[in-house]
A and B are shown apart, each in its own frame.
Chain A
Amino acid sequence: MFIVKDINIFYGKLHILWDLSLHIGDESVGLFGPNGAGKTTLINAILGLVKPTSGEITFDGETMLPLETHERVRRRIAVVPQERELFPLMSVLENLRSGAAYIPEAREKTGERLDFGFEIFPVLKERLRQLAGTLSGGEQRMLAIARALMADPKLLILDEPSCGLGPSLVSDLFHRLNEIKKGHSLLIAEQNVRQCLKTIDRGYVIENGRIIMEDHAESLAGNDHIRRSYLGL
């Protein structure tokens, strides 16, 4: 169980996140909100890239706040950031290996995790020796997700996985996320609410740094505010 409790975050004098709380169990959770609502800031706080001034973050009962980013990642929280997620001048295989190389438990399972990645993204297997930078945008996103999966994460966080992808690629991507969520807890920050609602179990809506709504996917899909502001209905 991953728990964020009442965290407050400031950038200088700007109050970005206000008493924000959420939890993620063995489920997939969506995080919705407009640009600038604080989605990425929350993810950065989970990773330890920004420090909350108050509040608590725990993972399976262990407090995360004193831990450095790499120590948190070694507790098996993996992130697919919004951009700059790959090493463009390294091959696909090298990129994948680097996802497991620095996490001792994952390193032992490199072969197993590679097979899992190829099962979900077969196209990567055909491209093993190709430089990551020469892949298409969709393939790069797949590689980034497969790379994060190499760490055998208990919690996989995706920051706007559909960003920059065409509609058919987006639905393809969410199909694959449906496969991934069977074995991993997911936190998906997304603007494409319509697609994301089909994958997640539960969702949070964040606006101006506050959680304004939390509900099951079906209820969110029926909610008036969501339908008006995010689904354009």
Chain B
Amino acid sequence: MRNWRYLVYALAVIVFTTLPFYTGVYLLNVAGYILIFMTLTLTWDMLLRSGQISFGVYGFFGVGAYTAVITFLDASIHPLFSILLGGIFAGFLALVIGLFVLQLRALYFAIVTLALGGIFMVVARNIPELTGGPEGRVLPSTIFDGDPTKTYWLILAVAVLTVIISILFEKSRVHFAVTSIRDDEIVARSSGINVFKYLVFLFAVTSAIQGLAGGVYGHIYGFASPEGSFSLTCTLLPMAMALLGGIYTTLGPVLGAILLGSISELLKLLMPYGHLLVYGIIIIVVILFFPRGIVGTLGKRFEKKR
């Protein structure tokens, strides 16, 4: 079972790193889109591993986008650095908010994070001096002057960074802590785990990466606007991708993002008006018949064989 995981990783690395050398702009754009959502999916799953369901991905994604765009326009910071600032600010915001809301658990936490994204959006809409109000802010040109290959490398770098962090978490003490918090918080505390500290840490790290992804997105598409940057798609699609691939793992979200991302793009081409319907059916079928996702289901089968 361990071997097939590494095989998939190796295959994914080869495909994604060689992509710019043999595909056109279109496929590169699709791959970039998939990688951005892979990043969001992984970060959502990383927090989920502690038992906390966040609906706030879109909020921190948007905060990152706005921060990157605004710091670039108003402080004329280098675009890459402004993206980094987007991540840092989103992480800092999550840290401060986490100190308050991570007393809450499960459903209550989920609802608060959902509301957070909404609050961020309202704030962004209502300080026009900074955020451009309802119209948002538009960049004079996109990052790297729209060079698709360079843009792709940037997205890939963020996605790879996220995968590495996720694997590091899986291989370290964080993994035990997070798993035991999910299984039983009282046992976790009785093992000497500072539950609150771990949750705040996780929330801040995952939100920072979401902010980073948002910053990248803002610079690629060259704008930040309330509806465009704070889109619930950034919360819902990662959930669907993680469920399809298999939650609580690194490989699951990676696979889920690749599969669902490709499928949705394919469907868009095949049936421009009906693709969402088929898309929805796929998600329902997966949840009904493969509740553990692809990795969970396959993993179980391999374990049985051994």
Mask, A213-233, CB within 8 Å of B = 1, is 000000000000000000000
The answer to whether A101 and B173 have CB atoms under 8 Å apart is yes
Does B195 sit at the interface, judged by CB under 8 A?
yes
Does A81 sit at the interface, judged by CB under 8 A?
yes
Number of A-B contacts (CB under 8 A): 53
The answer to whether A70 and B189 have CB atoms under 8 Å apart is yes
Does A94 sit at the interface, judged by CB under 8 A?
yes
Does A19 sit at the interface, judged by CB under 8 A?
no
CB contacts under 8 Å to A, within B178-195, are 179-180, 183-184, 186-187, 189-195
Mask, B45-76, CB within 8 Å of A = 1, is 00000000000000000000000000000000
The answer to whether B194 and A87 have CB atoms under 8 Å apart is no
* Interface bracket on B: 10 to 19
The answer to whether A73 and B190 have CB atoms under 8 Å apart is yes
CB contacts under 8 Å to B, within A80-96, are 81, 84-85, 87, 90, 94
The answer to whether A103 and B192 have CB atoms under 8 Å apart is yes
The answer to whether B179 and A102 have CB atoms under 8 Å apart is no
Does B177 sit at the interface, judged by CB under 8 A?
yes
| CB nearest to A102 among chain B residues | B192
Does A176 sit at the interface, judged by CB under 8 A?
no
Cα separation A103 to B195 with both chains bound (whole Å) = 14
The answer to whether A73 and B189 have CB atoms under 8 Å apart is yes
Cα separation A102 to B187 with both chains bound (whole Å) = 12
Cα separation A69 to B186 with both chains bound (whole Å) = 9
- Asked whether A84 and B184 contact (CB < 8 A) given A90-B179, A101-B173, the answer is yes
Lowest 8 CB-CB distances: which A-B pairs, in order? A102-B192, A69-B189, A73-B192, A98-B176, A103-B192, A70-B194, A102-B193, A101-B173
Q: List 19 A-B contacts (CB under 8 A).
A: A47-B189, A69-B189, A73-B191, A73-B192, A81-B190, A84-B184, A85-B187, A87-B176, A90-B179, A94-B176, A97-B176, A98-B180, A98-B191, A101-B173, A101-B176, A101-B177, A102-B173, A102-B194, A151-B191
Residues of B participating in the A interface, judged by any CB pair closer than 8 Å = 173, 176-177, 179-180, 183-184, 186-187, 189-195
